[in-house]
Structures are given as structure tokens and as C-alpha cells.
Structure 1
């Protein structure tokens, strides 16, 4: 006999996801900042990169369906995550309804919550291999999105430099930082999906900045390095 909390958590999970889908596809809110092509942040990826949301939506749909499975080995893990999932999804959805600094704040909150969910998942030894997949990709894309949103806010307020460094230098610093974070996930968490998101984003950034050699070369070099590490780690797991 399932208790009330069981059903409340699952209803909240589905309700928040439906809300997120609705605002993602039907929100027509005006954003605080708009850019011409020349004013786009250097960290802005080519538009095709945002298609990753369809992968995230699909994986979460499967994840939500699995919570009602009769043979659900992850039932305890769903309980441990509790209301963190709907909270994180809610704040992510709010970014589609707002813009500027508010969207950035909501996205950072969503990133913090999603990081906590990810920590709960990796600490659980008895889980299905699929359970982590949606959150690896989601957390990876949120990380990219937070960096991008910070650049958008800074540029939207007309700030051209920070700590004596301009946008180009900060873009390269963030590219390297994202690469370092991806390596950490590969080494520490044995997570190959999280770095794949950065490879996806960095290739899109390189394409969007095809006329700026100082951006697309670092983006492609880091992407290539991550791909090599991913393949090496995958090959090592296969041999084991």
C-alpha cells in the first residue's frame, strides 16, 4: 500500500514537467534583452544546439513513466529525491517566462537544486543505469546555460570588461573551465554524458564564431580533447 507522500511526489513531478513543457513551447513573454547578430555574446552557440532540449524532454518523460513501474528498483531513489525534481524544473521553467537578471537568478537556483539531485543519485549504489542519464544531460546543459546567461546579462547592461579582462578573454576562460569541469565528471563520477553536452555546446559555439579564430579554435581543441577522453574511458570500461 503506497502512502500519500508516494503519490504527492509523483504528481508533483508530472505537474512540474507539464508546466515546463507548456512555458517552453507556448510562452510568448518579452525578454529584457535583445541582440543583433553583431551583439550576440561570444559564448552563444549556434541555434541548432538548443535542440538538445528535445532529448532532455524525452529522457525526463521516460524517467517519469518509470516511477510508476511495478518492478521499479529505483523506487527508493525517487523517494530520496522527493520534491527536489519539481522545484528544479519549476525554476528552470521560470527562465522561459522572464529575462535578464531574473532569468539568470532562476537558472542558477535550478542548477544548485539539480546538482543536489545529481549528488543524491551518484551516492546511491543500487540504481538502474538509466536513472542518471536524464540528469547528466540536464545538469550539463544547465551549466552551459548559466554561463551563457551571465554573459547575456553582462552584455545586456553594456558592461564590456570585468577585472580588466574583456569578453574574449572571459569566453576562453569559461571554455577552459567547462572543459575542466567535464574532465572532473569523467574522472570522479565516470559520467560520459555530462562532457558530451559540453562537446555538443562547444562545437555549436565554434560554428557560431566561425569568423573569430580566437574563439572557434579553443572551442574545437577542447571539444576534441574531451572526445578523446570520453572514447578512452569508454574503451577502458569495455575491456574491464
Structure 2
């Protein structure tokens, strides 16, 4: 007898709520500020070019695929779906909470919630690392959460950078350029640490996307641009290595 997923309808509700709040965040907007106005208010060297945020559309389309996949009776009872448990609902609640905090400029609390979101997606990521997935599992379970986690890794850095900028801190006496470069390097190490144990080559490519967008946005700042492009090249080669390694291991 197949075990039904007790969270499948809650997952659907959580996903719809997340999409709705994301839409209202700019349509209302929440806190009387849209995303662009907040970005302009806290414009830092970590801020990526605006086109980078189009990745959210890809993430949400793939997550919609996951929701449909886990609702179907033929696939919703798979271990790959059941293992996620309540963590997708938790991640959705944290996503929504972050939007409210961010748009009301509670930056300190938004960083805490962002880190909790990062942690919840890390747990989901580990639970969805299926060794020999079906095509459906690869495209609708593994891929969505690789992209989601990869982007939240980058978003967490921007959030932390905004906190430092807002409070006019100078960590270790570094200038804004200095601590921005330090955060990019820390982010690159974080992505490697998360992706290497599971040989996930998709996740680092998302960070490459973010790094290139940062380099493009700040191309007039030579040191930052060179650093961002250099890290992007290194992480891209690392992703290629993981891809080849996985193919070699499975052959």
C-alpha cells in the first residue's frame, strides 16, 4: 500500500500564498515601497544588475512543477517527495516573512529570517539528492531546489551586506569595497561547501549568474568587477568538474 503525502495540499496552499505575497509586495506595495525603491535606498557593491532577478521566474515555474508532481497520486507517494516532509511549507513561510520584514525595512530581522530560509532549503536540498532519479525527479524535485538554494545563497550575501551598510559598520576596518569582496569570497566558499558533498553542479551555476550580474552592475569599479568575474570563472570551472565527475561516477 502506497503512503500518501500528508503535506501535499498544504504544500499547494503554501506555494500559492508565496506567489500571492510576492506579487502584492510590489503591486500594493508592502510597506509603501517596491523592491526597486528599497534597492536604491540600500545600493551597495553587492547589488546585482536588475536582470539577475528574472531567475525567480524560473525558480517559481519549476516549483509549480514540483507542486503538480507531488499532487499526482502516481508520483506523490515517492520517497523523494515524502522525505521533504514539512520543510517546503516552512521555507514558504520564511519566504513570506522575509518579504514583510524587508519591505518594512526591518533589515536586522530580515537577515535572521533569510538565514533560516537558507537553512531550510539546505535541509530540503540534502533530502532531495537522489542517486538515480527518474526524469521527473531530476527536473521537478532536484532541479528546483538546487536553483532555489543557489539563489538564496547569493541573496543572503546581499542581505548581510545591506545590514552592514545600513548600520555603517566597518568589519575588521574594511571599506565597503573591502567587505563586499570578502563577502563574495565567503559566498564562493559556501557554495562549494554545500555543493561538493552531493556533487550538485547546478547550484554553483546559479552563483555564477549572480556574480556576473554583480560584475556587470559595478563594471566601473575595476577591482570589484575583476574579482566577481574571476570568482565566476573559477566557480564555473568547478561546476564543470562536478558535472564530469558525476558522469564518470555513474558510468
SS of aligned partner of 2:197? helix
Contact 1:186 1:230 (C-alpha < 8 Å) held by counterparts: no
Q: Is the 8 A contact 1:13 1:85 kept in 2?
A: yes
1:149 match: 159
Q: Which residue of 1 aligns with 2:219?
A: 210
Q: CA deviation at 1:237?
A: 4.5
Which residue matches 2:186? 177
Alpha-carbon distance between aligned partners in 1 of 2:176 and 2:9, rounded to the nearest angstrom: 44
1:88 paired residue number: 91
The equivalent position to 2:123 in structure 1, one of 116, 124, 129, is 116
User: What TM-score do the two structures reach when normalised by structure 2?
Assistant: 0.84
CA contact (8 A) 2:218 2:225 kept: yes
Q: 2:149 matched to 1:139?
A: yes
Question: Can you give the 5+ residue segments of structure 2 that lack an aligned partner in the other structure?
Answer: none
Indicate how the Cα distance of structure 1 residues 35 and 72 shifts in structure 2: closer, same or farther if over 3 A, else same: closer
Residue of 13, 20, 23 corresponding to 2:21: 23
**Deviations, residues 174-198 of structure 1 (Å, cap 9, x unaligned):** 2122222333345321111110111
Residues 77 and 175 from structure 1, CA distance in 2 versus in 1: closer, same or farther, beyond 3 angstroms? same
Native 8 Å contact 2:52 2:210 kept in 1: yes
Distance 1:90 1:226, change over 3 A: same
Tell me how far 1:54 sits from its aligned partner: 0.3
Task: Please tell me whether the aligned partners of residues 201 and 240 of structure 2 are also in contact (alpha carbons under 8 angstroms).
Answer: no
CA distance in 2, matches of 1:177, 1:146: 11
Contact kept? 1:29, 1:98, Cα under 8 Å = no
Structure 1 unaligned regions, length at least 5:
none
Q: Judge conservation of contact 1:137–1:194 (CA < 8 Å) in 2.
A: yes
Say how many residue pairs are matched. 235
State which drifts further: 139-148 or 62-71. 62-71
